[in-house]
Structure 1
Amino acid sequence: MSAVLRDAWTTVVPDMDDRHGPLPPLMLALTVVTGLVDAFSYLVLGHVFVANMTGNVVFSGFAIAGAAGFSLAASLAALAAFAAGALAGGRLAHRVGAHRGRVLHLALLLETTLVLAAYVIAQTTATPHTGAVQYTLIALLGLALGIQNATARTLAVPDLTTTVLTLTITGVAADSRLAGGKGSKVGRRMLSAGAMFAGGLAGAVAVEHGGTALPLLFAAVLLVATTIAAFTLTRSDASWTKPL
């Protein structure tokens, strides 16, 4: 148990001399953002995700089969927007990839702008969001989370992809001492899963008991804070800033 707690602690309060320096807690914050935004998209925009693309591929199959409540057009729109965002994030990373802190900061500026725009639209339009408003929100959020995922891929902080938890949860079980492994990184992996759970829970509670746009406001506030934190890292010349 002490090893798990130590691993979790060093993720939240990392060693600045570590290969990934201050990046792990920022990746955790972005994982919370994922939960918030996907809670909004699934509960408010219909059965569609803007961050977890595996779900949209499956939902497309459901829609083609005629299952109620699923839209092929919405799933494809989310997939297209996410891919476009990932393309933009990839181009950004390749252009300024010599400094990981600058890559993160610039990506967060774009993501924050897109999520704030989505919040303004969601807050100022009538619910339920349908038609052009629905697809505009899907496009903005899909672009934002595509940029986030491409950036997380570039930064490559182990077990903190900010979105995909399947391999993370697999690692918790498959690498455990019960399975014959070393039980390494359990604390970090559990934090990653917990961060997305917390974001999803907070987003769902906000939608059900607050306002439908509230998850996007929470996500935007968290992104602004993370962007400011990332800005302070752009001047660092520590070893963690070097590309992998």
Structure 2
Amino acid sequence: MAEELPVARRWAVGALLTMTFATGLVDALSYLRLGRVFVANMTGNVVFLGFSVAQKYGLPVVAPIVSMASFVLGSLIGGQLSRVLGGSPRRWIAGAFAGQAAVLAGTAVLIGTGVLDTRHGHALVLIAILGTCCGLQNATVRLMAPRDLTTTVLTQTVTGLAAESALGAGTGAKPHRRLGSVLAMLGGAVVGGLLLEVTVAGLVGIVAVLVAGTAGVFALAPPPEA
């Protein structure tokens, strides 16, 4: 279903860049406050898990395992939603992102009220929640979006940006979306790092709002031009 976007491409690209920015926020939280682990970038977790064998570096073992397991769970949920609702793309995509936003909003409330925090035991709970959300997001985007707008991983994006440029293969592919993805992720990481000095709950709440806005775009934006 890749590239068969249910809304006008401009709207979809804007929404997915918003999700990429949100991913930068979330990974800032997970890496800086939840124990040097990623909840959206599984490559980093696999590498960290390997590094943890050398115990003198003090890298976590349990946290990346929890993150990867929850990410897989979220991806499975995303795949099932695609199977059940894929015949109605707007309903499927908007529903997946709306569900993600609801979970994030609830998590922000729990953090804000002190039920959850970033200490060790609670950190694993937050990693599991955020990892599941990111898995759902990644599965949904993978099944419907242009390949250079993954919203969570930039390796292929940066590779395409360089390899297909005038200095590379020279295919003339427009770099705007790819540059936008890199800048959105970078911006999210910067803003996330700064926000964490003030509020954790607020950061998660902002992510919830951004994801909810993306759900609204896929529910209400104009259809693709014929």
Same fold judged by TM-score > 0.5?
yes
Counterpart pick for 1:227 among 198, 202, 215: 215
Following superposition of structure 1 onto structure 2, how do residues 50-129 of structure 1 map, counting pairs within 5 Å? 50-125=39-114, 128-129=118-119
The letter for the 2-side match of 1:130 is H
* Mapped pair 1:23 → 2:15: no
Distance 1:67 1:52, change over 3 A: farther
Q: In structure 2, what is the Cα distance between the partners aligned to 1:237 and 1:183?
A: 27
Q: Contact between 2:75 and 2:138, CA under 8 Å: does it hold in 1?
A: yes
CA deviations on 1:29-60 (whole Å, 9 max, x unpaired) are: 11111101111111111101110011110111
CA RMSD across the alignment: 2.0
Q: Contact between 1:83 and 1:143, CA under 8 Å: does it hold in 2?
A: yes
After TM superposition, give the deviation of residue 156 of structure 1 in Å: 2.6
Q: Contact between 2:149 and 2:181, CA under 8 Å: does it hold in 1?
A: yes
Residue of structure 2 in register with 1:9 after alignment: none
- TM-score scaled by length of structure 2: 0.89
Instruction: Give 5+ residue unaligned stretches, structure 2.
Output: 1-6
Q: In structure 2, what is the Cα distance between the partners aligned to 1:85 and 1:44?
A: 22
Q: Which has the higher contact order (CA 8 A, sep 6+)?
A: 2
Identity in percent: 39
- TM-score scaled by length of structure 1: 0.83
Counterpart pick for 1:147 among 128, 132, 136: 136
Instruction: Give 5+ residue unaligned stretches, structure 1.
Output: 1-14
In the comparison of the two structures, how many residue pairs are matched? 219
Q: In structure 1, what is the Cα distance between the partners aligned to 2:86 and 2:10?
A: 16
